[in-house]
Amino acid sequence: MSNITCIGLLTSGGDAPGMNAAIRAVTRAAIYNGWKVKGIYRGYEGLINNEIKDLSTESVSNTIQRGGTILKTARSKEFMTVEGRRKAYENMKAHGIDALIVIGGNGSLAGAQTFAHEFDLPCIGLPGTIDNDLYGTDSTIGYDTALNTILDCVDKIRDTATSHNRIFFIEVMGRDAGFLAQNSAIAAGAEAAIIPEDQTNVDQLAAFIERGIRKSKNSSIVIVSESQKDGSGGAMYYADRVKNEYPDFDVRVSILGHLQRGGVPTAYDRILSSRLGVAAIEALKDGQRNVMVGIKNNEIVYVPFNKAIKMDKPIDKELINVLQVLSI
Ligand code: F6P
């Protein structure tokens, strides 16, 4: 059992559809339990700058269906310093916050882990990122919505690709993880996905081109995971390669960008966020700390921060096979 009476809640890093549903769930579950809730605005940056306000059940009314995050978000450089984290801790104490709930991706949960360790604080993480790249959970908040948004776009691009007999390279987000690319490619009936996890990318591309020629396909869709920080990879890179090797092909590129992060969360993301939010409060009540709440085989699980952040979440080889088999 815990001595908690007041929690702080923040969203951090890239926003993801469903974050509002998670904020609502955490807030209402805490209040249901008799605790106070302090909303921290703009992530760790707001904790450092004292942007903290009380949240009530009404503060989160009419938010479950909204994309983005009502608490705003940021990527805080200052929180990466000891001085920044000290300021954040002092503000937490001044507001009487006993425990912190962080909704965010890899970097945000890594920040929570360091903070929790340094100041001996109970912290609970909720996986909030469209990338689905956190170990120990089958899905992250926002992933399902982003996947459906991508599908909507790819279906539309296919109309024009077919009309013009073109090859389209469509770039999707996912930073270091190919979940969005691989699964959107399967669901959209694309010819190939180029993902960071698959070492056979270049061969795969050549095979796809040859196969297309053999079968005289008129148009093709290739989904490509976004380019890396050093500028390598990405849809432009592969489109240029194809144009050089096959000058007769009519090649186009479409980079979906940040539209993938917005929009109304799907039913799946709203339910996931609601379940994770309630489970986060249950975890604190049970005296758990420094864990991420996740979902595995439709059951709530608690994953230690160091596992969630540091362990790789591999792409299932079966998914790679499904796409290969179905794109003949
Ligand atoms: O981590 C989520 C994510 O959307 C990544 O897929 C992408 O690389 C990154 O955020 C983009 O971040 P920003 O909004 O800071 O450009």
For ligand 1, pick from 261, 309, 313 the residue to mutate: most ligand atoms within 8 Å of CB: 261
Examine the domain organization and report whether 52 and 72 are in the same domain: yes
Alpha helices (runs of H) in the chain, residue ranges in sequence order: 19-32, 43-48, 82-94, 106-119, 143-164, 179-188, 201-214, 234-245, 267-285, 305-310, 317-326
241 belongs to a structural domain:
yes
Examine the domain organization and report whether 127 and 269 are in the same domain: yes
317 belongs to a structural domain:
no
Distance (Å) from CA 13 to ligand 1 centroid: 8
Q: What pLDDT sits at residue 120?
A: 96
> In CATH, what number is assigned to the domain containing residue 94?
3.40.50.450
Q: What pLDDT sits at residue 323?
A: 93
Q: What pLDDT sits at residue 200?
A: 55
Q: What pLDDT sits at residue 170?
A: 97
Could you tell me which of 118, 198, 116, 208 has the C-alpha nearest to residue 167? 208
Q: What pLDDT sits at residue 232?
A: 76
Are 308 and 125 in contact by the 8 Å Cβ rule? The answer is: yes
Burial of 101 (0-12, 13-18, 19+ CB in 10 A): buried
Catalytic residue among 131, 133, 144, 269: 131
User: Which residue's CA is minimally distant from atom 13 of ligand 1?
Assistant: 14
Are 20 and 70 in contact by the 8 Å Cβ rule? The answer is: yes
If you compute the radius of gyration of the chain from its CA atoms, what whole number of angstroms results? 22
| Contact residues of ligand 1, CB 6 A cut-off | 14, 105, 129-131, 173-175, 226, 261
Examine the domain organization and report whether 117 and 217 are in the same domain: no
Examine the domain organization and report whether 293 and 201 are in the same domain: no
User: Which residue's CA is minimally distant from atom 14 of ligand 1?
Assistant: 14
| Percent helix, percent strand, percent coil in the chain, to nearest 5 | 45, 20, 35
325 belongs to a structural domain:
no
Rounded Cα distance, 250 and 30, in Å: 56
49 belongs to a structural domain:
yes
328 belongs to a structural domain:
no
Examine the domain organization and report whether 137 and 34 are in the same domain: yes
Report the helix count and the strand count for the chain, using DSSP H and E: 11, 11
131 catalytic per annotation: yes
Q: 113 to each of 47, 69, 226, how far by Cα in Å?
A: 16, 22, 28
* Residue that finishes a domain, picked among 228, 261, 294: 261
Please name the residues in contact with 300: beta carbons below 8 A apart, sequence gap of 6 or more. Answer: 275, 276, 279, 293, 294
Examine the domain organization and report whether 159 and 291 are in the same domain: no
Grouping H, G, I as helix, E, B as strand and the rest as coil, residue 22 is helix
Cα 6 versus chain centre, distance: 27
User: Which residue's CA is minimally distant from atom 15 of ligand 1?
Assistant: 14
Domain that holds residue 56: 6-142+265-310
Grouping H, G, I as helix, E, B as strand and the rest as coil, residue 89 is helix
* Residue that finishes a domain, picked among 261, 276, 292: 261
> In CATH, what number is assigned to the domain containing residue 214?
3.40.50.460
Q: What pLDDT sits at residue 233?
A: 83
CB count, 10 Å around CB of 247?
A: 8
Residues of the chain with pLDDT under 70: 1, 199-204, 206-207, 209-217, 229-230
Q: What pLDDT sits at residue 271?
A: 98
322 belongs to a structural domain:
no
Examine the domain organization and report whether 176 and 290 are in the same domain: no
